Amino acid sequence: MTTTPTDPTPPTANSLQPSLPYSGPRPINRKSHSDWTTKRVPLNAIAAARRDFGGLDIVVANAGVVHLTPAWEIDDDEWNAIVGVNLTGVFNTLRSAARAFIDQGRGGSVICTGSTCSRRAQLGLSAYTASKHGVLGLVRSFALELAPHGIRVNLVEPGNTDTPMIHHDGLYRRVRPDLEQVTRDDVAAGFQTMNALATPWVQPVDVSSAVVWLASDAARYVTGIELPVDAGHLIT
């Protein structure tokens, strides 16, 4: 499992525990405050996983940082920070995972976290949208090139998810500019209008469940796909 410190709600080890009786190795949640935009960090993390578990089978590249800024007001630092984490960090992880899987010669599965912004632009999110479009391109390219090695690469695309990434004053005020003090309850109806299903946002477990399925043998012939977990946001 690879996460970045800028990801507000990385899946926990407990959330990935199997529900059936299981006596094998358990996932370990390693919190890292390293710079995943450098190639050294994912290389070291993957080497440690191979050492600790005797091999590598699944890698999840889960990274997300976002700022609400009009496209023409984005400065170089903001652009580099968003693209660095969301795209370069994912590329570094994919590259390191691919090399490890090929070296092992027994296949593997990589799941990247995209977004509905991998396919649809949103106001004020041009850097984020560009980075998540880029992740979609990486997934398609790596899936195609790694298929002969039996390595699967897929993308999960969360919509608005019940985490601090959407629950903050800046986004609340965008949804309800008419209110001085905006609460979670005040914005729920506005978020609901973005989705086809009757919910304002999905839960983190909805996303992690999709990741677990993509990593499992149930999806053994699934590669190069985009799996939205968005309550129907993309079809509205």
Burial of 9-20, coded b for 16+ CB within 10 Å and e otherwise, reads bbbeeebbeeee
C-alpha–C-alpha distance, residues 37 and 47, integer Å = 17
What element of type H or E holds 82?
Answer: helix 76-83
The answer to whether 172 is a known catalytic residue is: no
Instruction: Classify residue 229 by its DSSP letter.
Output: E
The catalytic residue among 22, 128, 172, 221 is: 128
Q: Count the helix, strand and coil residues of the chain and give each as a percent rounded to the nearest 5.
A: 45, 10, 40
DSSP track, 15-34: GGS-SS---SPPP------S
C-alpha–C-alpha distance, residues 48 and 98, integer Å = 15
DSSP track, 6-73: T-SSPPPTGGGS-SS---SPPP------S-TTSTHHHHHHHHHHHHHHSS--EEEEE------B-GGG
Catalytic residue numbers, as ranges: 128
